[in-house]
Chain A
Amino acid sequence: MDENKKLNFNPHDHVLVPKHTKISEEEKQKILQQYNVSLKQLPKILRLDPALQNIEVQKGDLIKIERKSPTTNKAVVYRVVV
């Protein structure tokens, strides 16, 4: 997606778009420690991803995504903004 283009609707209004939240620096360090990983070893999300358009994010931020899963009610995934 073009950096300058803004969506004229909010993708989060759609039922199928999972909840994206930015995680505080403190929390981020805790998670990195919990999984014993560096940022590079986590899944990635593009800074320009439509789901992030109304969150202030920059490279290196950690995004928490909570989604429904066929096997469990709520599955949590962390993604690093790249």
Chain B
Amino acid sequence: MSEDYVYKKIKSIIFSFMSPKNIKKMATAKIVTSELYDKEGYPVDGGLMDTRLGVIDPGFRCKICGGKLKECMGHFGYIELARPVIHINYVKKILDTLRCTCVTCGRILLDDEIAKKYREEIKEALAKETAELARLKVRKVIEMIKGIKKCPHCKEKQYSVKIEKPTTFTENDKRLSPIEVRARLERVPDEDIYLLGLVPEHARPEWMVLTILPIPPVTMRPSITLETGERSEDDLTHKLGDIVRINQRLFENINAGAPEIIIEDLWDLLQYHVTTYFDNDLAQVPPTRHRSGQPLKTLAERIKSKEGRFRHNLAGKRVNFSGRTVISPDPKIELEEVGVPLIVAMELTIPEKVNEWNIDWLKAFIKNGPHTYPGANYVITPDNKKKKITNETKEPILAELTPGYTVERHLLDGDISIFNRQPSLHRMSIMCHKVKVLPGKSFRLNPSVCTPYNADFDGDEMNIHIPQTEEARTEAEALMAVRSQFITPKSGYNIISAIQDSISGNYILTKESEYTKEEVAQLLISIGVEDLPTLKNRMNGKEIFSLLLPKDFSFIGTGKDGKSVVFRNGKLEEGIIDVNSIGVGTGDLLRNLHNYYGQEKAIEILNNIAKLGIAVLLKDGFSTGIADTDLPAETWQQVQDLLKKAEAKGFQLLDDFKNKEIEAFPGRTVQETVELRIMEALNKVRDQIGNLISDQIDETNHSIIMAKSGARGKILNVTMMSACVGQQALRGKRIEIGYRGRTLSLFKKGDLSPLARGFIARGYKQGLTPQEFFFGAMTGRDSLMDTALRTPKSGYLYRRLANALQDLKIEYDNTVRDANENIVQFKYGDDGIDVSRSHGGTINVKKIIKEVKGGIHG
């Protein structure tokens, strides 16, 4: 099947040294001059830009394969080094080899028998492809030879070889020139090479000393033309130029019979250039620099580090037709839309194929050009040439435009885009939105989709991608549309819902609002509901809310206050709308709508509900402030009484403890029991205050509305602001650290009273005493550290889990299997329930029966 299309298959890869023979074989040109271009600007034959090495200028053809720019990949060349030089990356191996072999006969410094034994073992390990084991054995051989001072074969005395600085070898304090090193390496017989971890067919040790240097093709070191028309060569070309120049000088001096000192100097210089050509970031070697003083980027720098080939180009790819900017909320755009700034819409384009029906429409874009919206940036001719639209090219392009061309036009409202926020932990982190082009510089999104993205607007940024083909757009719409992600597969509850102001608004509306006919019409029109039924002269909020629901919708839910929310035949008859009906996860009403009317309708209704909530708030006004934390004098008095009582209770417990009247809880000491009972008393008082506030404070208090509707915050938060912050706890206990026997130095030692152990008896508005503030800062710091340390940890844990489970799949027989079809679970979740079609993981059979029989669902 697919075998037919396999051109060549890689069976194995062998890593080895390049032999001089090999280098010559693959080379197409011998480089003999450091000149690059002649007076006319053509590449010099035998220079580093020789056209036999490939071409980087349009119009030229490669002398070897005849290919033009981009057709010819380039070909290697070589230079003959006047004197051999050490390859910097093999210094260590050369040193090992020199130390392990005899000065005169070149044999390994081991008895034949031991050598044989190890040779067999290493060969065996290599045959079994256990490179690790072979490496271990080689290491052992090298260690073993370390102390041997006499050759077991020719009995010659051995001197220790040392390495000096980067590439100089010395033996017995005498310098070994690369020629001598190479000669020594050549003498090592093939059989002994195995013992050093090399396989002689692929890697003779003398190849580690270079006599010939391959010249990479010009295509991997292209020159760039500066704006001034000047040519700027690649760093590698510069470096190779140095090598070739010094090499030629060395040749000339040797041929002219120059004094040995001069030759030695040039030779060292050549060694330096070849070394930095491989790696320009070595210790003890001064890096070669540009005239500007910036170090050259040579071979090693191209590969390693974050900006290197691996991490930058191979592991980290960049993608076209995408954008990223800050997000901000816009409750007025549709749920499935994303607001795209105009400047982004003019940069991202959609390729539109010209045909006889759309040619006039597309010509209008070209006429507008790239700088007028809605315009176009490029056209692509039928033979695949990309042409930029500019004021100069506009007219000719318009004239030649025929069916078959493609126009890359600006984004328009309604175009398909893919919107994403990192970390993309679940599939709802990447969804398909319709583009809505807006002024400004940020992406706008409907607050209702904040939850699936886990986005807020404290500076979050998000990414957009524009699919470029019909297929990609269709796929994105079918699989990733916002409406298709209404229900999260992890619980079966809705993840897209009304949030915050939308909830407060609907709560206020359905609680007790009443509007005139005109006001209702205005509300509905402002949220885009246009087919209005006949409206009554005065309508209450429940009737207005009902206008958004399907006429046959019946459902009974429960509100946050525990009372029923009853819908009958599309009418909200009873109850108040709050988070339990339209919030995330709990959104009973939304889930039922989704269930009975489908995704599209559910999204549409949610959209209207969310907008209606905000419209109500805009109409009546809604804000929160310090006045929200004001308590009636009577309530305040009751709060103070409660606090006094709780404090007294604390003292009472301490007294009882002193008088040994406390009975220990099972498994606790008396002391622990007292602590627990004090804690309990103090926590209870805050809850009591909360209840007091919740009962006695004005129902129209906006903070309370937010808490009661579940839009944001809890009654507890109001309590903390207006009455009492409460007990501060570290590790589940009252605060007990600090000084010896006391929390702060102003308390007496052993003071266990509430105020000395972190109870904050005041509210934020009233103000905290310095001690109280300090206790608050303690727990605040503790929880800050806790979250700062936990977030990355749990993130990593989740990542590992997701990676381990990523290719599990539910097969048609309900088994869960991995990529190799191994069974992981015999029935998905043991019960085979599709969570996304369940009610929190279970299926409510009773409800289904009731529905089938034709009752109200809920």
**A residues at B contact (CB < 8 Å):** 35-37, 40-43, 69-72, 75-78
Measured between beta carbons, the chain B residues less than 8 angstroms from A40 are 822
Quick check: B823 and A71 within 8 Å, CB to CB?
no
* Contacts across chains A and B counted by CB atoms under 8 Å: 34
Quick check: B829 and A71 within 8 Å, CB to CB?
yes
Measured between beta carbons, the chain B residues less than 8 angstroms from A76 are 826-827
> A37-B821, A75-B827, A75-B830 given. 20 additional CB < 8 A pairs?
A35-B815, A35-B823, A35-B826, A36-B813, A37-B823, A40-B822, A41-B821, A41-B822, A41-B823, A42-B822, A43-B823, A69-B831, A70-B830, A71-B829, A71-B831, A71-B833, A71-B841, A72-B830, A77-B826, A78-B826
Q: How far is the CA of A29 from the CA of B813 in the complex (A)?
A: 17
B659 close to A (CB within 8 Å): no
Q: Which residue of chain B lies nearest to A68 when distances are taken between CB atoms in the complex?
A: B830
Distance in Å: Cβ of A71 to nearest Cβ of chain B: 4
Distance in Å: Cβ of A17 to nearest Cβ of chain B: 18
Distance in Å: Cβ of A48 to nearest Cβ of chain B: 22
Selected A-B contacts with CB under 8 Å, 21 pairs: A35-B823, A35-B826, A36-B813, A37-B821, A37-B823, A40-B822, A41-B821, A41-B823, A42-B822, A42-B823, A43-B823, A71-B829, A71-B830, A71-B831, A71-B833, A72-B830, A72-B831, A75-B827, A75-B830, A76-B826, A76-B827
Most buried by A among B815, B817, B826, B833: B826
Quick check: A35 and B813 within 8 Å, CB to CB?
yes
User: Assuming the A-B contacts A35-B813, A35-B815, A71-B841, are A41 and B820 also in contact, with contact meaning beta carbons closer than 8 angstroms in the complex?
Assistant: yes
Q: How far is the CA of A40 from the CA of B817 in the complex (A)?
A: 13
Distance in Å: Cβ of B299 to nearest Cβ of chain A: 47
Q: How far is the CA of A41 from the CA of B833 in the complex (A)?
A: 23
Measured between beta carbons, the chain B residues less than 8 angstroms from A78 are 826
Measured between beta carbons, the chain A residues less than 8 angstroms from B830 are 69-72, 75
Q: How far is the CA of A35 from the CA of B826 in the complex (A)?
A: 9
Distance in Å: Cβ of B529 to nearest Cβ of chain A: 42
Q: Which 8 A-B pairs have the closest CB atoms?
A: A75-B830, A69-B830, A72-B831, A71-B831, A41-B822, A72-B830, A71-B830, A71-B829
Q: How far is the CA of A15 from the CA of B315 in the complex (A)?
A: 51
Q: How far is the CA of A72 from the CA of B825 in the complex (A)?
A: 14
Measured between beta carbons, the chain A residues less than 8 angstroms from B824 are 43
User: Chain B, interface size: which category?
Assistant: 10 to 19
| B:346-369 near A, CB below 8 Å | none
Measured between beta carbons, the chain A residues less than 8 angstroms from B826 are 35, 75-78
Measured between beta carbons, the chain B residues less than 8 angstroms from A35 are 813, 815, 823, 826
Measured between beta carbons, the chain B residues less than 8 angstroms from A43 are 823-824
Distance in Å: Cβ of B817 to nearest Cβ of chain A: 8
| B:774-826 near A, CB below 8 Å | 813, 815, 817, 820-824, 826
Q: How far is the CA of A72 from the CA of B814 in the complex (A)?
A: 15
Q: How far is the CA of A77 from the CA of B822 in the complex (A)?
A: 13
Distance in Å: Cβ of B300 to nearest Cβ of chain A: 46
Q: How far is the CA of A36 from the CA of B822 in the complex (A)?
A: 11
Q: How far is the CA of A2 from the CA of B20 in the complex (A)?
A: 60
Q: Which residue of chain B lies nearest to A72 when distances are taken between CB atoms in the complex?
A: B831
Measured between beta carbons, the chain A residues less than 8 angstroms from B815 are 35
| B:383-409 near A, CB below 8 Å | none
Q: How far is the CA of A70 from the CA of B830 in the complex (A)?
A: 9
Distance in Å: Cβ of A70 to nearest Cβ of chain B: 8
Q: How far is the CA of A42 from the CA of B817 in the complex (A)?
A: 10
Q: How far is the CA of A71 from the CA of B827 in the complex (A)?
A: 11
Distance in Å: Cβ of A37 to nearest Cβ of chain B: 6
Measured between beta carbons, the chain A residues less than 8 angstroms from B831 are 69, 71-72
Q: How far is the CA of A35 from the CA of B822 in the complex (A)?
A: 11
Distance in Å: Cβ of B826 to nearest Cβ of chain A: 6
Q: How far is the CA of A35 from the CA of B827 in the complex (A)?
A: 11
Q: How far is the CA of A36 from the CA of B826 in the complex (A)?
A: 12
Q: How far is the CA of A37 from the CA of B821 in the complex (A)?
A: 8
Q: How far is the CA of A70 from the CA of B831 in the complex (A)?
A: 10
Q: How far is the CA of A51 from the CA of B841 in the complex (A)?
A: 31
Q: Which residue of chain B lies nearest to A36 when distances are taken between CB atoms in the complex?
A: B813
Q: Which residue of chain A lies nearest to B827 when distances are taken between CB atoms in the complex?
A: A75
Distance in Å: Cβ of A14 to nearest Cβ of chain B: 21
